[in-house]
Structure 1
C-alpha cells in the first residue's frame, strides 16, 4: 500500500522521491505474527492489571462527580502524547544522513505503540467505570440478555443456550465462552466478569491491529495512528456491544487483506478466512456484512477488473475455511435444527429504529472524525487505481448497498439491521483519512512546493503534524466518556448482582434477588438444575437458572418455540382460576417442555384477591417500540398445596415442594 509516513532510511530525506512506496518499517510475515502475539498478550495483561488497579482505589461515582472524567482526560492525554512523541522520534531517525536508532528506544517505541490501544481503552472507559461492577448500560434492555449469556458461560463450558434447558445456543458463543473462561479463572460470576472481559477484548483487538496495519502500510507511525483512531471511534459509538465492536474494528484491515488475497497472496487469503470464521463465532451480522459486501464484492470486482477467475477460486477457498471454523460454534445448533420437529420461530430482525431509516454520511459531520472521513472520501476517489484503496471504497459501497437493501426488506416484514453497520462505515472512511494525511505529509507537500526540503525543515513539519494530530486526538478521545454518559450512568444507577448500586443510592427491587435465590436454594434446588418462570430478566442475568421462556422473542432461541410457550403460560394463568392445586400441577407437568420448578411473581401474600402477576412480551413489529408487555394473573389458591411460598419485597416466590 502506498501509504507512507516516512521515507526509507537508505538515503537522506531530501533525496527521496515522495511518490514511491514506504518500506522503512516493513514487517516480515514471521515478525508480524510475533508482533500480533506480543500485542495480544501484552494488551490483555495490561488491561487486566489496570482493571484490578482501578478496583483497588476508591474513586467517586461517575454520575455524581467530575473526578473520574478529569482522571480519564489525564490518562488519554498521556497515552496519546506518548504514542505521538515516540512515533515522531521514530520518524526523526530517518532524517539523519546515517540512519541509527538505539536498541532500547526501538523496544520502548514498539511497546508504547503496540500497547497504546489498551491504555486508551483503560483511560477512556475503564477509568470512568472503575467504581462500578457493571459494563456500559448496566443491565438495561439488551445488556440483560448479554449478561445472562455470560452468567451461563461461566457456569457451563459447553454449548448451552443462555435460557432454555437442554438446547444448544443460537446466539454465537465465541466471545461469551471466552469470557466465561475468564470468569472461572478469576473466580467471579458472569455478570461481574462482563466489565473486565469487555475492556480486555476491545483492548486486545486494538493492540493486535497495530502490527497488522504496520505490516499492511509498512509504517509503524501510520499503523499506530490508524488503530488509535479505530479504537477511539469504536469506543465512542459501539462499545456497549463489545463482541460486535471487536469484529467491526478489523473490517478495514480485512478489506485491504482481501485486495491482496485476490491478487495472489496465500497468507492474506488465510487471514481473511480466519477472520470470517472467527467473526462467525462472535457476531454473525458483521460476518454476513463482511463476507457479502466486503470480501465477495472485492473478489467479483477484482475478477472483472483483471479478467480472471482466480479471485473467485480464492473466494471459494476462503468460504470453505471460514465455514469450517464457524461450525465449531454453529454445528450443535444446526444439527438440532435438522432434527427438530417443531417449526423455527425467530423475530431477531424485527427492529427498525430511526437510525435504520437513514444513510450514514459521517464525512458531513462537523467534527474531527467528520473531517477525517471527508479526507478519506477524497483520498479514495482520487486513488481508485490503487487496488487496496479501491478495496476500501468497494467496502463502503457494499455497506451502503446493505443499508438500502435493509430498508427495502421492510416491505416483506423484516430488516437487515443496517443501523448497526454505521460504525463500519465510519471506520472505513476514517482509515482512508489517516492514509490520506500520511500521503499528504510524504508526497503532497513536496508536490505543492517542489523545492527540496532540508532535514531541519522536515523535522519541523513532522513535529508540527505530530503535535496537531496528538492534540486533535486528545480533543476527540477525551469526549469518549461524555459520548457514553448515559450508558455509564446506568452502570452506576442499576442494582448489581450483590444488590448494590455503585453510586451508593438506595437500590431498586433487584436487591431482593439474593433473598429469592437463597429461598429457592433452601428448598433443595440448585440454580443450574432449576427451571424458573418469571419476567424478572435481571434475576436471570445474575443467576444461572433456566428460564421456562425467554423474555422477548428477539433474543429467544428459534428452537425454543417462544410463542407457543407464551400461549402455554397464558393458558396456565387462565386455567388456574378454575383449577385445584392438583389439577394445576398436572397441567404444569403435561406441557411439551419441562415445567417450572419455581415461579417468581409480583404480588402480595396478604392480599391475594388480585392474583399473582407475570408479564408476557409480544412482538408488535413494524411498530416502534417493537415490543408490548401484557400482564397475566395466576390464582394464588393453586399454590396452596405442593408449593412453598415466600414474600420478598414486592415479589412472591413459589417453589415446588420436593
Structure 2
C-alpha cells in the first residue's frame, strides 16, 4: 500500500524496509500456507492426546485458552517491536530475522489453535455441533470423504449444486487421516481458517512493505473472523482476503499483471468455495473499483484487465461448476431453488462495527476516519470503494425482498468488519510513522522513537489480547453444541448420556447385513443426523433450502405423499412395485421413529 507512486517519498522509504520481491512473495505465500497448515494439524493432534474437561462444564479449558492467546500475542508482539527497532540499526541477526519471520507467518495458526482448537479439544465436532446448517455441511463432508467425484451430498446421480472446493479438499484430508467425513469437519476447519490467516502475512507484507504491519493485519483479521464467522469456515476464508483483494484491484487497474492474476485466482477459488462472496466481490467491489479507476484516470485499460480477470476466474470456477452447468443445460424439468428465500433479523439491518463499544469498534472508527482522510491514495480509495460495494449489496438484498427473494446481504457483515479493522491497523501504523514525529520532529530522537514504538505495540497487544480472549466466549453457544450433541460414534463429548443418535451405528450394521452398502443405497428418512454421519443417498433432501435445484424437491415430496396414501390398501409386493415404478430410483431403506406399541 505504501509505494512511491502513491505515497510521500519518506513514508514509502519507511514502509519499503521489509518489501520483498515477487518471487519471494510467492515463496512466502507457499511457505505460510504449508507451515500454518502443518502447525495447526500438529496442534490438533497434540490437543487430542491430552484429556481436558469439556469447555461447557469447566473453566480449566477457558483458562488454558486465554494463556495460550496471551503467549502468542506477547511473543509475536515482542519480536515485531524488536524488528521495528532494528530499522534504526540498519541490520539484524540472521537467526532472529528467520525466527521472527517464521513466527509471524504462522501466528494466525497459533491464534486459531488457542482460541478455537483448544476449547474444542475434547470434542470431535466443529462449532455448533450438528445443529441446523452444520447438518448439511457434515453430510457434504461425509459424501466428499466417501466419493472423490462431483456427487451431490444427497441425491444419487446428480452433480453437486453447492461449491465443491472446500468440501472436496476436506474429503481428501479425511482419507489421508483415516477419518469419516463428519469427523474431519473440525481439523479441516481449523486448518483452512489458519492457512487463510497465515497467507495474509506474506500478502500484506508485499502490499505494505512491513512485516509487523502485515502480521498485525493478519492477526486482527483472523480474530475478527473467528469471532463472527468461524461456524462457516469455507465462506470465512474467502471473506478474510477481501481487504487485500481491494488493494490488489488498485494495483491491477494501475498496470500490475501480477495483481491481475492474483485477483483472478482469488475469484476463481472463491467460486469453488462460496459463490455468494464471489458475486458480491466481483460485481460490487472489483467491477466498481475498475469503473472508478476508468473515470479517475480517463482510460479504458482497467476494463481490459477486468475482462482478463473475468475470463481467468471463470476458467478456475469451471473446475467446480462445469458438471452442474451441463446438468442444467440438459435438464428437462424445471429448476427449483429456495436457498435465497431467507431473511433473518440481521438481514434487515446495516452493519456498523464502528459504533460498537468494543476493541473492534474502536479500531473500526479509527479505520473509518483514516479512509476518509486518506481517500486521495489509490489503495485507500480502493478499500473505501470496497466498503461502498459491500453496503450496496446489503441494501440491494433488502430491496429484492419485493421480488420474494434476497441476496443474503447479512452474510457480508464479516466482510465489512474486516475491511474497517484492516483500515484501522493501517491508520495506527501510519500514525506511528507520520503522526507525532511529524508534528514534533525536534523532540523525537532515535530512543524516543523506539519508546513510541513500544507504546504502540503495548496498546495494540493489550487490546488484541483483550479481544482475542473473548473469542471462545463469543462462540460459547456453538461450543456448547459441539459438546452436547451426539457424534457419529454415538458419544457426547461432555460424557453425559447420548440421545437416540447413539443407535445409528446399530442401524447401519443392520442395513449392511441386509446387503445394502451405504454408497449404493437410497434411504428415505427424516433422521438428519443419520444422513450426516453415513454416506447414504437420500430419496429427497430434508428442506428445499439445501436441495439441489436439479433434484425436483417438490415433485419428490408429492411422490412420497402418494406412496404413503396408497400404502394402506397395498400388499407388500404392490408397495415394492410402486417404489420401483417411480421416475427416480426408489428408496431401498426406510427409517422412521416409533415404538413397539404404536409402530
SS of residue in 1 equivalent to 2:187? helix
Asked if residue 275 in structure 1 is aligned to residue 266 in structure 2, the reply is yes
Q: 2:123–2:482: 8 Å Cα contact kept in structure 1?
A: yes
> CA contact under 8 A between 2:2 and 2:11: conserved in structure 1?
no
Note if contact 2:127-2:482 (Cα within 8 Å) is conserved in structure 1: yes
Secondary structure, in 3 states, of the residue corresponding to 1:426?
helix
Asked if 2 retains the 8 angstrom alpha-carbon contact of 1:244 and 1:286, the reply is: yes
Give, in whole Å, the separation in 2 of the partners of 1:195 and 1:418: 27
Q: What is the rounded CA distance, in whole Å, between the counterparts of 1:20 and 1:521 in structure 2? A: 69
CA shift at 1:18, angstroms?
A: 5.1
2:349 corresponds to 1:361: no
Give the deviation of 1:448 after TM superposition: 2.8
CA distance in 1, matches of 2:240, 2:225: 7
Partner deviation per Cα, 1:614-658 (whole Å, 9 max, x = no partner) = xxxxxxxxxxxxxxxxxxxxxxxxxxxxxxxxxxxxxxxxxxxxx
The 3-state SS of whatever aligns with 2:81 is helix
* Corresponding residue of 2:493: 502
Residue in 1 that maps onto 2:542: 551
Which residue is 1:2 aligned to?
2
Q: Is 1:114 paired with 2:85?
A: no
2:84 corresponds to = 91
> Corresponding residue for 2:43?
50
Select between 440-449 and 134-143 the one with higher mean Cα deviation.
440-449
TM-superposed CA distance for 1:573, in Å, is 1.1
Q: Say whether the 8 Å CA contact 1:153–1:179 is kept in structure 2.
A: yes
User: Which stretch shifts more, 485-494 or 560-569?
Assistant: 560-569
- Preserved contact between residue 18 and residue 446 of structure 1 (Cα < 8 Å): no
Instruction: Specify the alignment match of 1:296 in structure 2.
Output: 287
Contact 2:3 2:16 (C-alpha < 8 Å) held by counterparts: no
- The Cα of 1:603 is off from its aligned counterpart by 1.5
1:311 paired with 2:302, answer yes
Give the equivalent residue in structure 2 for 1:656.
none
1:176 paired with 2:162, answer no
**The residue matched to 2:523 in structure 1 has which SS?**
strand
Q: 2:317 — aligned with what? A: 326
Name the structure 2 match of 1:238.
229
- What is the CA-CA distance between 1:607 and the residue it aligns to? 2.8
Asked whether 1:483 is paired with 2:474, we answer yes
Could you list the per-position Cα deviations for residues 275-325 of structure 1 after superposition, in whole angstroms to 9, with x for gaps in the alignment? 000110000001111101110100011101111100011000100000000
Match of 2:427 in 1: 436
More strand by share: 1
What whole-Å deviation, never above 9, does each CA across 1:18-46 have from its counterpart, x for those lacking one?
Answer: 58662100011000011011111110110
Report the TM-score, using the length of structure 1 for normalisation. Answer: 0.89
- Please list, as runs of the form range in 1=range in 2, the aligned pairs for 1:436-585 lying within 5 A after superposition: 436-585=427-576
Aligned partner of 1:36 in structure 2 is 29
| Structure 1 residue runs of 4 or more that deviate by more than 4 Å after TM superposition | 16-21
For the Cα contact (< 8 Å) 1:497–1:542, is it kept in 2?
A: yes
Q: Secondary structure at the match of 2:542?
A: coil
Larger Rg: 1
Aligned residue among 67, 70, 76 for 1:77: 70
* Candidates 137, 155, 164, aligned match of 2:146: 155
Report deviation, 1:454: 0.8
Please report how far the alpha carbon of residue 571 of structure 1 lies from its aligned counterpart in structure 2 after TM superposition.
1.3
Question: Residue 249 of structure 1 corresponds to which residue in structure 2?
Answer: 240
* Unpaired stretches in structure 2, ≥5 consecutive residues: none
Deviation at 1:83, TM superposition (A): 1.1
SS in 1 for 2:592: strand
| Alpha-carbon distance in structure 1 between the residues aligned to 2:484 and 2:316 | 40
1:449 is displaced (CA, Å) by 2.1
CA distance, structure 1, for counterparts of residue 290 and residue 376 of structure 2:
16
CA RMSD across the alignment: 1.4
Aligned to 1:601: 592
CA contact (8 A) 1:3 1:21 kept: no
- 2:184 maps to 193
Question: TM-score, normalising length from structure 2?
Answer: 0.98
Q: Determine helix, strand or coil for the equivalent of 1:22.
A: helix
SS in 2 for 1:599: strand
Between the aligned partners of 1:216 and 1:20, the Cα distance in structure 2 is 14
Higher helix share: 2
User: How far off its partner does 1:464 sit?
Assistant: 1.1
Equivalents in 2 of 1:19, 1:342: separation in Å? 60
Deviation at 1:606, TM superposition (A): 3.8
What corresponds to 2:206 in structure 1?
A: 215
1:202 and 2:171 matched? no
Q: Deviations over 1:45-92 (max 9, x none)?
A: 100000000000100000000111100001101111111100000001
> Would the aligned equivalents of 1:277 and 1:324 in 2 still touch at CA under 8 Å?
yes
Aligned residues of 2:359 and 2:467 also touching (Cα < 8 A):
yes
**Structure 2 contact 145–172 (Cα < 8 Å) conserved:** yes
Provide, for residues 496-532 of structure 1, a one-character-per-residue CA deviation record: whole Å limited to 9, x for no partner. 0000000000001110111111110010110000000
Contact 1:147–1:542, Cα closer than 8 Å, also in 2: yes
2:155 to 161, 164, 182: 164
